[in-house]
Amino acid sequence: MQNKFKVADKVYLSIDFEDCSHDFKRNLGLNKNNKIKEKALWRSYGVINNFLESKLDGAKITFFCTGILATKCPELIKKISDDGHEIACHYYFHDSVRDESLEEFEKNIVLAINELEKCSNNKVMGFRAPNFSIRASDDNHFKIISKYFKYDSSLNINDESEINRLKQSINSNELKLIPVVAEKPYLGLPYMKSGGSYLKLFNVHFSLQVISKNLLKKQISQVYLHPYEFVSDMSFYTNWKEMNGLSFFKKIYWLLRQSQWHIVGNKSVLRKLDKIFSKYQHGGQIKDI
Ligand SMILES: [Zn+2]
């Protein structure tokens, strides 16, 4: 059985649409008054959509949204869908799926789909696990994914035989596996993906090398980004007061650590995307692959 990759010099831009501040506080157990930063999400979506309109001929792309955003800010998810973009699933909360039982995993998938489809003009067809937290050896997770989705974009592997093994194991010809394939951009460097912090923190040539290697191997090339990477106004920053409950030193640590996410390199993201898409055609929505 072959997993068919299309050959084209296209790059698929997608957004993992989540509120990093909400997810951050949830991971630290700061659940009291953990409100979604809806204004920041609207602002970031505006920046993303404006880039698509002005630089990519109004391209329609895929937004992998957490279900909690559909519950808490339905108008925003509806707006993204009404603008013609694909709403796909990024789980209900931005939790690592491997930390949960298979029953919880399926329950959260169903909850996320239900919430997202209330706001979306399209049937939710695609899934990407938060933090790419599924491995190709997680056959049972993929059996559940194949029940609800047409495609999955959670893997980072470049091993086609492993993908074919997985497809045989889950006995599904229907589920397309569309990984975000990591590559070593230059000899001696570790594997990198084209997107997220890799794109934000490093010279754009690293991402261009990854893309070029993906395409040479006839793999689908994807650039993924997050809302907080498009703004540099600190609007997703979790402030000192919001971290009440943590020790003084932990607060200091997390204040500094957040700078990496919210400040360093954020202003370069649009310029880097512009560079990538001056070289490659944008691919559109992942459901159409
Ligand atoms: Zn995510």
pLDDT digits (tens, 9 = 90+) for 182-227: 999 998 999 999 999 999 999 999 999 999 999 999 899 999 999 9
**69 domain-assigned:** yes
Residue 22 has phi, psi (to 5 degrees) of -60, -45
Whole-angstrom distance, CA of residue 57 vs CA of residue 40: 25
Distance 133 CA to ligand 1 centre (A): 10
pLDDT at 6 over 60: no
Residue 65: exposure state from Cβ atoms within 10 A (0-12, 13-18, ≥19): buried
Host domain of residue 135: 10-288
270: its two tokens = 């649009």
4: its two tokens = 């068919």
Distance 226 CA to ligand 1 centre (A): 7
Residues in Cβ contact with 175 at an 8 Å cutoff, skipping those fewer than 6 apart = 142, 145, 146, 149, 150, 151, 152, 167
**3 domain-assigned:** no
**5 domain-assigned:** no
Residue 89, helix vs strand vs coil: strand
Beta bridge partners of 13: 223
Whole-angstrom distance, CA of residue 239 vs CA of residue 262: 12
Distance 44 CA to ligand 1 centre (A): 15
The arithmetic mean of pLDDT across residues 87-108, rounded, is: 96
205: its two tokens = 């040539």
pLDDT at 152 over 80: yes
DSSP percent split of the chain into helix, strand, coil, nearest 5: 50, 10, 40
**26 domain-assigned:** yes
What is residue 267's predicted lDDT score, i.e. its pLDDT? 94
48: its two tokens = 């993303």
Residue 35, helix vs strand vs coil: coil
Whole-angstrom distance, CA of residue 248 vs CA of residue 263: 22
Whole-angstrom distance, CA of residue 123 vs CA of residue 141: 21
**1 domain-assigned:** no
Distance 1 CA to ligand 1 centre (A): 31
User: CATH number of the domain that 76 lies in?
Assistant: 3.20.20.370
**180 domain-assigned:** yes
Distance 94 CA to ligand 1 centre (A): 6
Distance 15 CA to ligand 1 centre (A): 9
Share above pLDDT 70 across residues of the chain, in percent, rounded to a whole number: 97
Distance 33 CA to ligand 1 centre (A): 21
Task: Fill in the DSSP letter of residue 279.
Answer: H
Smallest Cα–Cα separation from 73: which of 113, 37, 125?
37
Distance 199 CA to ligand 1 centre (A): 15
Whole-angstrom distance, CA of residue 151 vs CA of residue 175: 5
Residue 169 has phi, psi (to 5 degrees) of -65, -40
pLDDT at 5 over 50: no
What is residue 279's predicted lDDT score, i.e. its pLDDT? 93
Distance 179 CA to ligand 1 centre (A): 15
Task: Give me the number of domains the chain comprises.
Answer: 1
**127 domain-assigned:** yes
For the stretch 17-67, pLDDT in tens is 999 999 999 999 998 889 999 999 999 999 999 999 999 999 999 999 999
137: its two tokens = 């050896």
What is residue 191's predicted lDDT score, i.e. its pLDDT? 93
What is residue 8's predicted lDDT score, i.e. its pLDDT? 59
The arithmetic mean of pLDDT across residues 1-17, rounded, is: 72
The arithmetic mean of pLDDT across residues 123-132, rounded, is: 97
Distance 149 CA to ligand 1 centre (A): 18
The arithmetic mean of pLDDT across residues 230-244, rounded, is: 93
Beta bridge partners of 195: 224
Distance 189 CA to ligand 1 centre (A): 24
Share above pLDDT 90 across residues of the chain, in percent, rounded to a whole number: 86
pLDDT at 132 over 70: yes
Q: What is the CA radius of gyration of the chain?
A: 18
Start-to-end CA distance of the chain, whole Å, equals 18
**2 domain-assigned:** no
Distance 16 CA to ligand 1 centre (A): 5
